[in-house]
């Protein structure tokens, strides 16, 4: 009997020790084996059941943990905490809150400083602000309101619920602000669009002597990249170099991303090359950086190097590479990536599906886009958005509209991206009645609050010829929300219809409102001046653009000025401007000069322009026709005949003109 009584405690001690090992290693298989052994030997006690529940919970086995939890009548705070933690880590936030409510209702044990952080996280993830405020109240009543761990979790909860003010009040009330507290505030402000506040918080953190860590770097560098604050980004880089081994790979990935977003790919490459270890995020960040900075070929070149380095592309990498293929119209390379996605079983990932649809569309293979779309689940808006946008991009306006109707019939809720992809189709058809119907739908559905959607409507009405409706729509956008895109669209609309004075007036209003013009805005207003014959105004704006140095003159800007001078008969000035360009003029610039030479019958400059155009666009019949027209206008019939003979020898034929009318949607 004595041996039997001594063996029992030893057996229990052995089981407890083994269970602790299982819990420490998170081994579900060993926990199951031990659990089965205890049941078959009949030594399963209430305490051991509780321990097994905690072990299953910490190992993430929801089913077993919940079953044992429900069977237990005596539950401790530690047991509740383990189950709540399990649900939060598994993303089952509602279940976590239900267990918390059960804990409160049962009343046998109270939540502690380990309970509240997980409950607050669940509230934040679900954006349940009212519940979160109640949890905050409970922490104060129970005496855990000043616990640093609890307060940090409340900061994150309020930031996730977009309650920046409440988060700030909790932060300022904290007696012991750790680096985690500062990091939570910095990343929270950035995620809520308050980039200036995020930067101020980081500077405050440095001023009070808090030592930044890797998480700080990862929190503040995206803010530097977003605001193009290269100076601060370099300061953070110096900090990373100073810390050296104390920084993890995430910090270096954030550095690469920051330099890429600031347009400094050479510096991003230096950081990349110095990294001893690179993961898939590192490579994908570099690929995205090159794409962002308009160097898609360098992005594609990294794909082979990445695999040679032994790093396997993930869904995000493949989607980025597909984007590069689309921008370069490399359908063959895109198909190879499609095959890679199939082999790695990423073809059903929504980001890859949409990237494939977009890539094939930009390569003018809409049949492949439709095939990819046909294989999607069609239960999410993203594939619908991609195929609608792809149809609009390729001029398939009717197909885009039919797809939108089909989407509604399938009860898939459209979003802003759906409408932004669809609206170009209404611009293509220029049907005012259909545009007005779509405006009504947008109004009923509550999408008009989006500046992007409202701007798209302004563009549609402009293309339909209804400037009155376009201006009314533009006026309804709150002044604070009128961004550079909205201003550019309305200026372009007035310019398109020959209202140059109104376009220039709007441009001046935009500058006075504090919105700085970009390349597109200058193109729109210069185009308006050109079509309205506002020579002096156009030249003044062009000169201001050159002097401000905020916008580098592009091909479109020179084309507008050459056209402006050409329409005014100032052909020599136009030619002098072309000769002063710092980059090679393209076909559009020479075409503008040739068109002006036709109007003013200037053979000498016409021949110069035509010579370049025949080289740049050898198969464009319009250039030959215009040159022949100039010769005919001045009576040089033999030269006109020679140009026409050149067309015949090359095998070119003038395309017949055509008109389009619509009657009752037919």
Q: In this structure, is residue 89 part of a structural domain?
A: no
Query: What average pLDDT does this structure show over 52-75?
Result: 77
Q: In this structure, is residue 516 part of a structural domain?
A: no
Query: pLDDT tens, 415-474?
Result: 999 999 999 999 898 888 888 998 999 888 888 888 899 999 999 999 988 999 999 999
- b/e 613-645 (16+ beta carbons within 10 angstroms → b): bbebbeeeeebbebbbebbbbeeeeebbeebbe
Higher pLDDT: 74 or 102? It is 102
Q: In this structure, is residue 401 part of a structural domain?
A: yes
**DSSP label of 326:** H
Q: In this structure, is residue 102 part of a structural domain?
A: no
Query: What average pLDDT does this structure show over 241-268?
Result: 88
Query: What average pLDDT does this structure show over 236-264?
Result: 87
Give the pLDDT score at 79: 85
Lowest mean pLDDT among 53-67, 258-272, 383-397, 597-611: 53-67
Lowest mean pLDDT among 19-23, 307-311, 490-494, 584-588: 19-23
Query: What average pLDDT does this structure show over 294-300?
Result: 94
Q: In this structure, is residue 412 part of a structural domain?
A: yes
Q: Does 153 score more than 90 pLDDT?
A: yes
C-alpha span between 35 and 48 (Å, rounded): 9
Report residue 142: phi and psi, to 5°: -85, 0
What average pLDDT does the structure give for the chain?
A: 87
Query: What average pLDDT does this structure show over 41-49?
Result: 67
Domain containing 448 equals: 377-474
Q: In this structure, is residue 82 part of a structural domain?
A: no
For 125, counting Cβ atoms within 10 Å of its Cβ (0-12 exposed, 13-18 middle, 19+ buried), the class is middle
Higher pLDDT: 25 or 270? It is 270
C-alpha span between 157 and 657 (Å, rounded): 63
The three-point CA angle 340-360-457 to 5° equals 135
* Distances, alpha carbon 122 to alpha carbons 127, 140, 298, in Å: 8, 18, 42
Give the pLDDT score at 243: 76
Helix locations, 41-191, DSSP H: 46-58, 62-71, 77-89, 93-106, 115-125, 129-141, 148-160, 164-173, 179-191
Structure tokens that stand for 165 in this block: 């003010």
Query: pLDDT tens, 521-571?
Result: 999 999 999 888 899 999 999 998 888 777 888 899 999 999 999 999 999
Residues 6+ apart with CB under 8 A from 665: none
**Residue 143, by phi and psi: left (phi above 0), alpha (psi -120 to 50) or beta?**
left
Query: What average pLDDT does this structure show over 100-129?
Result: 91
Task: For the chain, state the CA radius of gyration.
Answer: 33
- How far is CA 161 from its chain centroid? 21
* Distances, alpha carbon 434 to alpha carbons 12, 100, 427, 428, 662, in Å: 78, 53, 10, 12, 12
Query: What average pLDDT does this structure show over 93-112?
Result: 90
Query: What average pLDDT does this structure show over 366-381?
Result: 92
* Distances, alpha carbon 645 to alpha carbons 419, 538, 626, 630, 657, in Å: 50, 40, 14, 16, 21
Give the pLDDT score at 664: 47
Give the pLDDT score at 35: 64
Q: How confident is the model at residue 106 (pLDDT cuts 50, 70, 90)?
A: confident
Q: How confident is the model at residue 4 (pLDDT cuts 50, 70, 90)?
A: very low
Give the pLDDT score at 109: 86
Q: In this structure, is residue 20 part of a structural domain?
A: no
Q: Does 3 score more than 60 pLDDT?
A: no
Q: Does 171 score more than 60 pLDDT?
A: yes
Give the pLDDT score at 498: 87
Per the structure, the count of domains in the chain is 1
Q: How confident is the model at residue 263 (pLDDT cuts 50, 70, 90)?
A: very high
C-alpha span between 561 and 531 (Å, rounded): 11
Query: pLDDT tens, 469-498?
Result: 999 999 999 988 899 999 999 999 999 888
Query: What average pLDDT does this structure show over 68-80?
Result: 82
For 536, counting Cβ atoms within 10 Å of its Cβ (0-12 exposed, 13-18 middle, 19+ buried), the class is exposed
Give the pLDDT score at 399: 95
Q: Does 221 score more than 60 pLDDT?
A: yes
Q: In this structure, is residue 286 part of a structural domain?
A: no
Give the pLDDT score at 12: 58
Q: What is the CATH number for 461?
A: 1.25.40
Query: What average pLDDT does this structure show over 634-656?
Result: 74
């Amino acid at each position: 009997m004595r041996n039997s009584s001594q063996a029992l405690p030893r057996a229990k001690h052995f089981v407890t020790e083994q269970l602790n090992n299982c819990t420490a290693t998170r081994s579900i298989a060993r926990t199951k084996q031990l659990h089965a052994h205890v049941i078959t030997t009949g030594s399963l006690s209430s305490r051991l059941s509780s321990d097994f529940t905690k072990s299953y919970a910490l190992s993430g086995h929801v089913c077993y943990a919940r079953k044992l939890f429900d069977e237990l009548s005596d539950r401790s705070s530690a047991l509740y905490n383990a189950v709540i933690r399990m649900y939060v880590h598994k993303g089952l936030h509602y279940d976590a809150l239900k267990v918390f409510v059960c804990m409160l209702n049962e009343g046998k044990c109270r939540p502690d400083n380990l309970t509240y952080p997980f409950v607050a996280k669940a509230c934040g993830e679900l954006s349940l602000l009212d519940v979160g405020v109640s949890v905050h109240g409970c922490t104060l009543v129970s005496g855990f309101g000043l616990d640093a761990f609890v307060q940090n979790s409340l900061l994150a909860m309020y930031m996730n619920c977009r309650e920046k003010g409440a988060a700030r009040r909790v932060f300022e009330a904290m007696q012991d602000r750790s680096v985690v507290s500062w990091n939570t505030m910095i990343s929270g402000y950035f995620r809520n669009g308050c980039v200036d506040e995020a930067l101020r918080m980081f500077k405050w953190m440095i001023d009070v002597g808090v030592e930044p860590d890797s998480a700080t770097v990862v929190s503040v560098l995206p803010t530097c990249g977003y605001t193009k604050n290269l100076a601060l980004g370099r300061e953070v880089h110096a900090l990373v170099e100073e810390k050296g081994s104390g920084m993890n790979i995430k910090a270096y990935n954030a550095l690469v991303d920051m330099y890429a977003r600031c347009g400094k790919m050479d510096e991003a490459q230096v950081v990349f090359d110095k990294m001893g270890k690179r993961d898939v995020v590192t490579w994908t960040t570099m690929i995205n950086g090159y794409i962002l900075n308009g160097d898609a070929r360098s992005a594609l070149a990294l794909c082979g190097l990445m695999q040679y380095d032994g790093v396997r592309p993930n869904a995000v990498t493949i989607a980025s590479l597909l984007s590069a293929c689309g921008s370069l119209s490399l359908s063959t390379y895109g198909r190879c990536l499609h095959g890679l996605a199939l082999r790695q079983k990423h073809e059903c990932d929504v980001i890859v599906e949409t990237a494939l649809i977009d890539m094939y569309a930009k390569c003018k293979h809409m049949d492949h886009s439709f095939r990819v779309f046909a294989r999607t689940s069609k239960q999410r808006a993203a594939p619908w958005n991609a195929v609608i946008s792809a149809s609009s991009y390729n001029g398939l306006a009717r197909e885009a509209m039919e797809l939108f109707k089909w989407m509604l019939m399938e009860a898939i809720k459209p979003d802003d991206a759906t409408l932004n992809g669809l609206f170009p189709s209404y611009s293509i058809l220029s049907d005012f009645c259909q545009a007005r119907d779509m405006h009504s739908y947008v109004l009923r559905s509550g999408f008009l609050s989006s500046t992007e959607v409202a701007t798209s409507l302004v563009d549609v009405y402009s293309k339909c010829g209804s400037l009155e409706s376009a201006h009314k729509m533009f006026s309804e956008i709150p002044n604070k929300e009128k961004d550079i895109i909205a201003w550019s669209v309305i200026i372009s609309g007035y310019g398109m219809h020959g209202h140059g004075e109104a376009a220039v007036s709007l441009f001046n209003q935009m500058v006075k409102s504090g919105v700085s013009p970009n390349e597109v805005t200058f193109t729109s207003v210069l185009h308006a001046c050109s079509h309205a014959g506002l020579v002096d105004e156009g030249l003044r704006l062009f000169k201001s653009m050159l002097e401000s140095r905020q916008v580098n003159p592009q091909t479109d800007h020179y084309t507008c000025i050459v056209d402006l001078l050409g329409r005014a008969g100032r052909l020599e000035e136009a030619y002098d401007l072309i000769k002063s360009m710092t980059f090679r003029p393209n076909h559009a610039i020479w075409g503008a000069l040739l068109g002006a030479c036709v109007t003013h019958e200037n053979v000498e400059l016409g021949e110069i322009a035509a010579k370049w155009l025949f080289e740049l666009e050898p198969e464009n019949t319009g250039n030959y026709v215009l040159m022949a027209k100039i010769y005919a206008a001045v009576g040089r019939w033999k030269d006109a005949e020679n140009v026409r003979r050149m067309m015949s020898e090359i095998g070119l034929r003038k395309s017949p003109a055509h008109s389009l009318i619509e009657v009752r949607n037919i």
